[in-house]
Amino acid sequence: MESLSVTEPVLLILLSLTERPRHGYAILQDVQEMSDSRVVLSTGTLYGALRRLLDGAWIERVEEEDAPRGRQSYRLTARGRRNLQLEVGRLKQLTRVAALRVARKET
Amino acid sequence: MLTIYRLLLYLYPQAHHCEFSEEMLAVFGEARTEAWKKNMLVRGRFCAYEIKGLLTGAAREHIRTICAVDRPPVFFSRRIAMRSEFRFPKATVTLMSIILAGVVLAIEKATAIRVSVPDSSPHVGPIQPAHFTFLPTMLVIMGGACLAGAIGWAILFALHRSGLHRLADFDPASNQASGGRTHA
């Protein structure tokens, strides 16, 4: 895993970009939808995370010819996709262990 | 609201402001239009949340710029990755309160003893300092600090000039593949 820490907002942003490139506002809406409005990102939080992901080359900007002024889209890079897969694998393993432990405690 | 937001964007470091401010303003405009369709409570919550996000975001960016760290742990919540970090134990507060109470009690007791025995200590006249030593001591300390700073700076400067810091970027595999040649 790269040095960038995957917090819940960062994970949701990455998941939002897995299907297709999205611009800032679309990411905000998708994150809110994915988390059932549990995670509502402010623009400050969103662009802090996007900046770190850009610096780590996990995402990249997409050049759009007819994009309105101030609207910029982002997409996952191969590195970002690989790291996301690693993180998802780690979470799967964690939930598996958690489920086992909880089940053991209940019996 | 847009004007306030635009002004608050100046709290970010220059580089971040140049790169993202226009985009952030556009996204904020869209989000605000959506929030303004709802009731006053939602609007108020939206404004508070955005301002908080901007302030913490700007602080985080400044810390990152100054310290060159990617993640100041204080400002990050909702972590998924659990790491062992030092936590201030809650029992310490209780212990410190007990110790404080003990110290206050001891002072009270000492005061009571002193009042009950008024002439227990002989009279001592005012103590006169033999020499006025505060200013010279401070000068010596400041001189020492300046000297230590100069030595530290000189070491860093010498390391920088020698190119030692570039060793961190040195990749022996790629160097071997290119036959040990280096390019300027």
pLDDT tens digits, B72-91: 444 444 444 444 444 556 67
Confidence class of residue B117 from pLDDT cuts 50, 70 and 90?
confident
ipTM: 0.82
A43 → closest Cβ in B24, B55, B78: B24
| SS3 of chain B: helix, strand, coil, percent, to 5 | 70, 0, 30
Greater model confidence, A76 or B128: A76
Confidence class of residue A104 from pLDDT cuts 50, 70 and 90?
confident
In this structure, of A40-49, B89-98, B170-179, the range with the lowest mean pLDDT score is B170-179
pTM: 0.57
Number of domains observed in the structure of chain A: 1
**Partners of A23 in beta bridges:** A73
Q: Which residue of A has its CA nearest to B9?
A: A44
B78, A8: Cβ pair inside 8 Å?
A: yes
Predicted local distance difference test score (pLDDT) of residue B72: 45
CA–CA distance, A75 with A83 (Å, rounded to integer): 14
Interface size A-B, in CB pairs within 8 Å, comes to: 88
Q: Give the minimum alpha-carbon distance from A106 to chain B in angstroms, rounded to a whole number.
A: 24
Burial of A29 (0-12, 13-18, 19+ CB in 10 A): middle
Q: What is the overall mean pLDDT for chain B?
A: 76
- Whether the pLDDT of residue B33 is over 80: the answer is yes
A7, B80: Cβ pair inside 8 Å?
A: yes
Predicted local distance difference test score (pLDDT) of residue B89: 62
- Whether the pLDDT of residue B175 is over 70: the answer is no
Q: Which CATH number goes with the domain that contains A41?
A: 1.10.10.10
Q: How many CA atoms lie within 13 A of B14 on its CB side?
A: 1
Residue A14 lies in a domain: yes
Chain B CB contacts of A6 under 8 Å are 80-81
Number of continuous H segments (helices) and E segments (strands) in chain B: 6, 0
Average pLDDT over residues A26-45: 91
- Whether the pLDDT of residue A39 is over 80: the answer is yes
The conformation of residue B91, written as its DSSP 8-state character, comes to H
Domain boundaries, chain B: 2-75
Grouping H, G, I as helix, E, B as strand and the rest as coil, residue A73 is: strand
Residue A65 lies in a domain: yes
Q: Which domain holds residue A96?
A: 8-106
Q: How far apart are the first and last CA of chain B?
A: 51
- Whether the pLDDT of residue A6 is over 80: the answer is yes
Residue A2 lies in a domain: no
Chain A CB contacts of B80 under 8 Å are 6-8, 11, 91
